Amino acid sequence: MKIIRCEYNCEPRYAILDVENVRFLAHEPYTSIEYSGECVPVSEVRMLAPCEPTKIVCIGKNYRAHADEMGEGQPPEPVLFIKPSTCVVGCGDDVVYPAISNRVDFEGELGVVIGKRASKVETGKAKDYILGYTCLNDITARDIQKSPAQGTQWTRGKGFDTFCPIGPHIETDLNADSSNIQTRLNGEVKQSSNTALMSHDIDSLICFITEGMTLLPGDIVATGTPEGIAPMQRGDSVEVEIEGIGVLKNTIK
């Protein structure tokens, strides 16, 4: 099932994407899937970011090859940081290159969308709290993240407005433990990996996070990026494609 959020008649609505049609939901998809009875062609709506998280909890260095390329070693436990909700944009939206940065990188990732309030989740139970999965790009102003003057600034370097594109939809039916992930810059493949290569799997990540932090419906866990990160320039097009979900495409402005 493909859950979308879209604008129709100047109003944001949740819906199910059914091939070329949009079937509107009576309410948010977190409690249940209940149709309103309205159905329109997809050409009549404007796609939005598929959820509205209160926070995006991100995992650093969760692919060994990426940790190696950064030269920072593999951490024994997940490294957490948070991107604010104001980072979120949807598929097709522009990513704004900050005037104060000289290097902005892409980081293609699998995003896990939380479906219900999650606190102190037990091992093996994380799937009970997951609504579905989406493509995510953890845009990073690398020079600001690693500022020589200020030291490490992960939140500042990764927290700019528009720095978390997500979409194009939430896929509820996905083998997230083994899905191919690819990032393309202007059509050229830069990242190519599989979620099976994560150092910490999705279940362990959600259990680790919720030991002390409550995840709310619509929140996203960004599961880390594989090797191959690289800078982007204004005018570039970046695509994150995950097998079984689709393609998230954005332009750098």
pLDDT digits (tens, 9 = 90+) for 16-61: 999 999 999 999 999 999 999 999 999 999 999 999 999 999 999 9
Q: Locate 25 and state its tokens.
A: 């939901």
- In order of their start, the domains of the chain are 2-47 (2.30.30.370), 55-252 (3.90.850.10)
Q: What is the pLDDT of residues 155-213, one digit of tens each?
A: 999 999 999 999 999 999 999 999 999 999 999 999 999 999 999 999 999 999 999 99
- Reported confidence tier of residue 15, pLDDT bands at 50, 70, 90: very high
Higher-pLDDT residue of 150 and 207 is 207
- Cα separation, 253 vs 90, whole angstroms: 15
pLDDT band at 64 (very low <50, low <70, confident <90, very high): confident
Contacts of 246 (CB under 8 A, 6+ apart): 135, 168, 169, 171
Q: How far apart are the C-alpha atoms of 5 and 96, rounded to whole Å?
A: 22
Helix (H) or strand (E) holding 156: helix 154-158
pLDDT of residue 253 exceeding 90: yes
Predicted pLDDT of residue 150: 65
Low-confidence winner among 7-16, 60-69, 105-114 (lowest mean pLDDT) = 60-69
Element (H, E) at 171: strand 164-171
Peptide bond into 50 cis (omega under 30): no
pLDDT of 65 reads 73
**Cβ partners under 8 Å of residue 148, min gap 6:** none
pLDDT (0 to 100) of residue 206: 98
Convert the pLDDT of each residue in 217-233 to its tens digit.
999 999 999 999 999 99
Provide the pLDDT for residue 205. Answer: 98
91-111 pLDDT per residue, tens: 999 999 999 999 999 999 999
Specify the pLDDT at position 151: 64
- Stretch 130-157: mean pLDDT, rounded? 90
Mean pLDDT, range 132-143, rounded to an integer: 97
What is the model's pLDDT at position 75? 80
What share of the chain has pLDDT > 90, as a percent? 90
